[in-house]
Chain A
Amino acid sequence: DTGVSQDPRHKITKRGQNVTFRCDPISEHNRLYWYRQTLGQGPEFLTYFQNEAQLEKSRLLSDRFSAERPKGSFSTLEIQRTEQGDSAMYLCASSLRIRTSASSYNEQFFGPGTRLTVL
């Protein structure tokens, strides 16, 4: 399977614990994104990387959240001191930047997500 993969698929934790998720993008993709999705809503942007550089972080990403992409390949998202409000599906996507003479755009491909439940 050459798509985006995420691990674990499900995580149940107690409030106050730390959790870490991993994302492996499509191999040739240089951009990697993290989104959060709550029940009945569309995904919300959290952050994105171009290669190993983290280029933007949403205001949704509090100080308890940190993301890394150390070698420009896989990425990790860590949540410290989890709260019940952190319960959500955490989605990873990747893309290969495509630039034409007219514009720059990218197709984002999503992984299966990690469902986090904080008790």
Chain B
Amino acid sequence: GENVEQHPSTLSVQEGDSAVIKCTYSDSASNYFPWYKQELGKGPQLIIDIRSNVGEKKDQRIAVTLNKTAKHFSLHITETQPEDSAVYFCAAPGRYNFNKFYFGSGTKLNVKP
């Protein structure tokens, strides 16, 4: 947590292609890493998360990988569809308070049909 950086800020892909969004965090004590999808005018929706004791987690077309040594984690979306278009946020908890999430600045994903 504490300092969470997210890249890229915008990502445009063709329908059917894969999309990858990366985040780095500064606090080595962080142990939980969620990803949220936010559509226009709506609140963030939790789409997948990963605990620090595993390196990868998959749920249908989405997956998250975690590299604790390098302190980065990534969201992978395969076979993208137009309805995947949204802003995606990563987050990590703080060292002194695991309830306090620090969010990345977001990635606007545009899937072109």
Contacts and interface: CB of A to CB of B under 8 A. Distances in A.
A106 interface: yes
Interface of B: 4, 6, 31-32, 34, 36, 41-46, 49, 51-53, 89, 91, 93, 97-106
A5 to B, nearest CB: 10
A107 B49 contact: yes
A102 B52 CA distance: 10
Interface stretch (A12-20, A64-72, A75-83, A109-117): A109-117
A105 B100 contact: no
Contacts of A31: 99
Given A43-B89, A45-B100, A45-B101, A102 B53 contact: yes
A2 interface: no
A46 to B, nearest CB: 10
Interface in A1-58: 4, 6, 31, 33, 40-45, 48, 55-56, 58
B43 A113 contact: yes
Given A110-B36, A110-B44, A105 B103 contact: no
Contacts of B101: 43, 45, 108
Contacts of B46: 107-110
Given A109-B46, A110-B43, A56 B36 contact: no
B43 to A, nearest CB: 4
